[in-house]
Structure 1
Amino acid sequence: MPGTRQRRTRGEGDRLRAELVTAAIDLLLEPQPLPAPSLRAIARACGVAPSAVYMHFASQDALNYAVIAELFGRLRADLDAADPVEAAPADRLEALLGAYLTWAETHPGAYQLLFERPDPAGDEGEGPGLDLLDRLARLLPDPDPHARHAAALRIWCALHGVASLRIHKPTAPWATDPRTDARALVAAITGLPAGT
């Protein structure tokens, strides 16, 4: 029978342990999406029958897309509230980066759902939330739009690293706060001053 192993002889435990670790690593080489709650579990949480969910969402994917869209809406609202739109671009950039990091810190599960799993299938053609990248690019000083976009993408990568590592490695020997780390990374990417 496939998958059936013969009993190991005494003293082969170390070899089996190594095989188990290797098998686990092989299984983890592909990205593992965060599991979304099932339609049945969501219906149970709302106190309705699963069929009621299908009256509003045709599939699990449709519900997942609605969740992602709602969470991006909440993130945008927090960014809007923090954005001093009359201020200089560098000050606006600083405020938005701080708001992004605060949102990640106060909503770690939502942050992981938005930024640490593949985008859900949707009808919009473009990944949800990519407008945030354009918003960031508009605040950068480079006159070349392609260079601004490339720098914005690098900043997002760096910022995501700060946010994600703070979520997953809270006991790391962090020497500074997340905003200070973000300022230093933005300064390294753009040549802008690191702020205060």
Structure 2
Amino acid sequence: MTQAADAPTARIPNPRGEGERLRVDLVLAARHLLTEAPEAAPFSLRAVAKRVGVAPSAVYRHFASVDELVHAVLVDGNAELREALELPDGPLDRRQLIALGHRYLHWGLANPGAYGVLFESADRLAHIAGPGAPGWDMIEQLTRGLEASHGADAPVVAIRLWTSLHGLTSLRVHKGDDPWPTSAEHEIEVLVDALLLTR
């Protein structure tokens, strides 16, 4: 699902049998509300219904709670990120890891709102990371890609790579105008080279 400049405020009812379209609209509206300024109205299923232009009861037909809708937003955002990363199966070499880092950075810069919801809103949205959480499968796939070069250390190196990429991307998203002495792309190359030496 791609981001739009504004979520819909009024909506033509779906024909019978097209309830999935409403679900997509609800997730998109929720994502927009979650990325708005902190002074915006509190996030709620009623607020999402108003944004889409349907009765609150229509939201409850798809999501039983705010937590369930937030989970759907996270699943959707991680699916977009996964598609952008093009994370290959099999062993990952230096060139592939650098390219992966560049794609991660560029997705975050192009989608700062979605990036913030995925990686900078854990406390606000009461969601946690770890096995079984939305997006964790990407960490597991990265770990498998590093097993050939790092063996039992692959899980540690995978987490180090992700946390380092997150820190670099988050700073460039929020402080992109700061006088950085090198490009983020160059720093990703340095980061990958350092991690490949980890044993």
Task: Give the TM-score taking structure 1 as reference length.
Answer: 0.69
User: Residue 93 of structure 1: CA displacement?
Assistant: 1.5
Deviant stretches of 4+, over 6 Å: 33-36, 84-88
Aligned residue identity for 1:38 = S
Counterpart-to-counterpart distance in 1, 2:95 and 2:79: 23
Counterpart-to-counterpart distance in 1, 2:95 and 2:50: 46
State the aligned residue count: 156
1:126 is matched with 132
Any idea what the Cα deviations from partners look like across 1:159-178, whole Å, max 9, x if unmatched? 11101111111222112222
2:167 is matched with 161
Pick aligned residue for 1:99 from 103, 114, 124: 103
- List gaps (5 residues or longer) in structure 2: 1-33
- List gaps (5 residues or longer) in structure 1: 1-32
Q: Does 1:72 align with 2:107?
A: no
User: Residue 121 of structure 1: CA displacement?
Assistant: 5.4
Q: For residues 162 and 143 of structure 1, do their structure 2 counterparts lie closer, same or farther at Cα, with a shift above 3 Å needed?
A: closer
Counterpart-to-counterpart distance in 2, 1:91 and 1:69: 28
User: RMSD of aligned C-alpha atoms?
Assistant: 2.8
Residue identity (%): 40
Alpha carbons 1:85, 1:92 under 8 Å: kept: no
Aligned residue identity for 1:93 = L
Counterpart-to-counterpart distance in 2, 1:61 and 1:138: 31
Any idea what the Cα deviations from partners look like across 1:55-97, whole Å, max 9, x if unmatched? 11000100000010011011111122xx577996322222211
Alpha carbons 2:94, 2:193 under 8 Å: kept: no
Task: Give the TM-score taking structure 2 as reference length.
Answer: 0.68
Pick aligned residue for 1:116 from 116, 120, 126: 120
2:18 is matched with none
Q: For residues 89 and 188 of structure 1, do their structure 2 counterparts lie closer, same or farther at Cα, with a shift above 3 Å needed?
A: closer
Aligned residue identity for 1:165 = L
1:6 is matched with none
Instruction: Choose 1 or 2 for highest CA Rg.
Output: 1
Aligned residue identity for 1:109 = G
Counterpart-to-counterpart distance in 2, 1:133 and 1:86: 14
User: Residue 190 of structure 1: CA displacement?
Assistant: 2.0
Pick aligned residue for 1:54 from 60, 63, 82: 60
